[in-house]
Amino acid sequence: MNQLEQLKQHTTVVADTGSFHQLAAFAPQDATTNPSLILKAVLSPDYAPLLRDTVAAHAQAPLADVVDAVLVRFGTEILKLVPGRVSTEIDARLSFDSEATVARALRLIALYEAAGVARERVLIKIAATWEGIRAAERLERQGIRCNLTLLFAFCQAVACGDAGVRLISPFVGRIYDWHKKQARIEGRAWDEAARSGANDPGVQSVTAIYEHYKRHGITTQVMGASLRTTGQIVALAGCDLLTISPELLAALQASDAPLVKRLHADAAQALALPAVHHDEASFRWALNEDAMATEKLAEGLRAFAADAAKLDHLIEEARR
């Protein structure tokens, strides 16, 4: 078996793309999108008709409604090609507004259901701010499943588990990027080989979250995201899910090197790990104390917000 086939024996494989034409070759269970991936897709000539047709069908609607219609159109097309779920992301500019996040999520679910898609096949993707986590807690109580993204800190994972969210997406590659850059800023040598595999700081972050959840019976699923290399994927084999770009899926498919399960729920259950919980004050302090998480969360929110604004502009142009 190639590495992709081996990985599927241990972990649910999710495609990280807005380009649904790429999905069939890899047969993932689920798919995830984000504003940057959707923007990249709609800029491609392959998807221009989809954008144009969706905008034309909602010509008189407010801009935010048209954006949601475009996101749902991509999601419904993706769901024709995967048997599981699609993650559709809430506008990052709402990340500190629980009420607006809940309202936008309800609208997205209504659009999916109007298109004949059951809510069980949709994950509403929300940034793991305190306000985003509170919004997800409310949505989960209404049977709307959530994927908490831009997750860099252990405290974010703890709060998501306490809130009962369905799934979290800790960002492996961006954590790795920060630590490598920080070493350079501080004038420290970075040994690539020594900081790979189980010693990769992004892999270590996901492993700690996975073990905490399994040890304490937390049912929130862990989906490693923002993966940079096949080495990171191999080191996280056994994680509940991994969301992987088409480029890395192709690399796994092209390799027949051995791949073994690295994360084990039963082993985690035997670990002596203390229970951890956060209220708002302790959450905000723990996040503040984590320089990497604070910087990468803010950076990610700004980047997703910028791409959401670019998508707004494209839609406005298409309506003229």
Mean pLDDT of the chain: 96
User: Among residues of the chain, what percentage have pLDDT more than 90?
Assistant: 89
pLDDT tens for 264-274 read 999 999 999 99
* pLDDT for 308 beyond 90: yes
Average pLDDT over residues 66-93: 95
CB 157 within 8 A of CB 231: no
* pLDDT for 59 beyond 90: no
* pLDDT for 85 beyond 90: yes
- Domains within the chain, CATH numbers bracketed: 3-319 (3.20.20.70)
* pLDDT for 22 beyond 90: no
Q: CB neighbours (10 Å) of residue 219? A: 9
pLDDT band at 24 (very low <50, low <70, confident <90, very high): confident
Query: Quick one: pLDDT at residue 318?
Result: 87
CB 238 within 8 A of CB 263: yes
Q: What is the DSSP letter of 90?
A: P
C-alpha Rg value of the chain to the nearest Å: 19
- Residues with catalytic roles: 125
Residue with tokens 């699609």, as numbered in its chain? 86
pLDDT band at 13 (very low <50, low <70, confident <90, very high): very high
Specify the pTM.
Answer: 0.96
Query: Quick one: pLDDT at residue 19?
Result: 86
pLDDT band at 20 (very low <50, low <70, confident <90, very high): confident
* pLDDT for 257 beyond 90: yes
Average pLDDT over residues 161-190: 97
pLDDT band at 221 (very low <50, low <70, confident <90, very high): very high
Task: Give CA torsion, residues 193, 196, 197, 200, to 10 deg.
Answer: 150
